[in-house]
Structure 1
């Protein structure tokens, strides 16, 4: 059975998430990532509280490190079936690139650290927020955000996660105005506790800053396919990943389309989620209902990787 390995993004983190993996053979990777980034990753995974992990740069590095450790354990345990492709939601795309062989660990870790810092600084300079929109389809939300921008406030579609699961990003004024229009159309806007207007043009300064870090790394000319957030298309290698990662900061995450690509175009019938929690598993089950989903939240989950999550 062809398998896709998928990695969640920022927001999946939680205090103490590394404790279940502390006694595994892969735990020393935390120290290795710490050396590459100058941040005590072990402390983030074991003792950092929720307030600390809400800081964008620290949250991203903690989630990345967690996923690297879990991926190494999963690789050793051997997820059943052929690993046909990888994908990650936002930040998770960097872990996907590492796991697929597109980047060595040192470069991936440094890029994640640089990305988190750039996004945090950009959000401080240009404050913004994000919100979930429920009970409306993607076309309607896109139309409503366009109406808001025509009035002056700024808001854009940021994540197209699954049917009925969308996220918008923009200024507080823009999100407030969208909430009014959404209610008039039968929808509802639920504000999220995030540090900025991610995946929107308000992150342009972050893209400018990240460009320097991306120029310092070399992507493998060939690797296992990774389905990119920005175009929901599988890519097998090459330097164009620099452009995709820059565009990802200011463009929507096309997760629903990405899952369809994995399931329909690449024939993946099993999705193994490597990350704290089940952030992606629920989305995937709404997109590819016939696929098996396997969330790996502890070492025990690796003993039976072929068992799909029960409906």
Structure 2
């Protein structure tokens, strides 16, 4: 089998009902949802499976919900004995990656991301921050414009570097708007995002400080396989490295394009499997590098197809 990496999605991949079919068919998945409910002290599974959507979209429910669904799918896959050479997750998904690598327990992770969601939601008063997606513009140009606008309008920064031609900017609302205006003049396509805060910008530092205190209170072990950190796009493996990168991640850029290229070019990864709701990372993969093979596991159907493909059969998803 070719060298394999597991990828785990972040916020935005959620949908009411996610993971329910897997839980109904596989006891390993059902058990993860039960463990989440017990760890949090309320029925997260009810919010995930029954909504309403407005409630699931609340950051402090979305984050543990996506983590729980991703780990439920992972637990089913473990039965097949398929193991990765490296793992990575997009923003929140980095916690799923760390659980998969044995660096933290699922229970600790689900409690931490529930708190992380609250901290991020409360860090900046409503309306003061904003985020926009920028398509079709060079990363260096976006960075240059953000730096120039920041000098006069307040902070606006690169939040997510997702793939060539797809970057998200984040920061003070008026600065994000001004950067968007300038980028449009430079033929960039700018789309404001409906979000509750300026995530992955320096305005999130209060949330990072609160999260640091929570992370000090849990055990973080050395990872069993390299985990590619969002903040550096480089492998981290020791508990100290992981704790530091998770703290910095809240107020730093998610270097997703760079992370995929690190796994391919430095670690020799040829096959990537997205494990979790949706298929955001699966879609980004081909924009980053058309030569790699991508699969996804988000339902009983995609699970069966992916396992068959990874075991060398002809079925693909």
SS at 1:103 equivalent: coil
Q: 2:72 aligns with which of 66, 69, 78?
A: 69
Q: Which residue of 2 is the match for residue 18 of structure 1?
A: 19
CA positional deviation for 1:310:
7.4
| 1:103-130 C-alpha deviation (Å, 9 max, x unpaired) | 1122112211111111111134783121
Give the length in aligned residue pairs: 309
Contact kept? 1:126, 1:202, Cα under 8 Å: no
Partners in 2 of 1:242 and 1:270 — Cα distance?
28
Q: Which residue of 1 is the match for residue 6 of structure 2?
A: 5
CA positional deviation for 1:19:
2.2
SS at 1:77 equivalent: coil
Q: 1:171 to 1:222 in 2, by over 3 A?
A: closer
Partners in 1 of 2:155 and 2:165 — Cα distance?
22
SS at 1:83 equivalent: coil
SS at 2:250 equivalent: helix
1:28 is aligned to 2:28: no
Contact kept? 2:61, 2:117, Cα under 8 Å: yes
Contact kept? 1:41, 1:65, Cα under 8 Å: no
Contact kept? 1:218, 1:239, Cα under 8 Å: no
- Counterparts of residues 159-238 of structure 1 (less than 5 Å): 159-238=160-239
Q: Which residue of 2 is the match for residue 56 of structure 1?
A: 59
| 1:4-48 C-alpha deviation (Å, 9 max, x unpaired) | 000010000011113222312121211111111223121122101
Contact kept? 1:263, 1:288, Cα under 8 Å: no
Partners in 2 of 1:42 and 1:29 — Cα distance?
10
Could you tell me which runs of 5 or more consecutive residues in structure 2 were left unpaired when the two chains were aligned: none
Could you tell me which runs of 5 or more consecutive residues in structure 1 were left unpaired when the two chains were aligned: none
Partners in 2 of 1:8 and 1:158 — Cα distance?
16
Partners in 2 of 1:188 and 1:153 — Cα distance?
22
Q: Which residue of 1 is the match for residue 152 of structure 2?
A: 151
Provide TM-score, normalisation by structure 1.
0.95
CA positional deviation for 1:289:
1.2
Q: Which residue of 2 is the match for residue 307 of structure 1?
A: 309
CA positional deviation for 1:222:
4.4
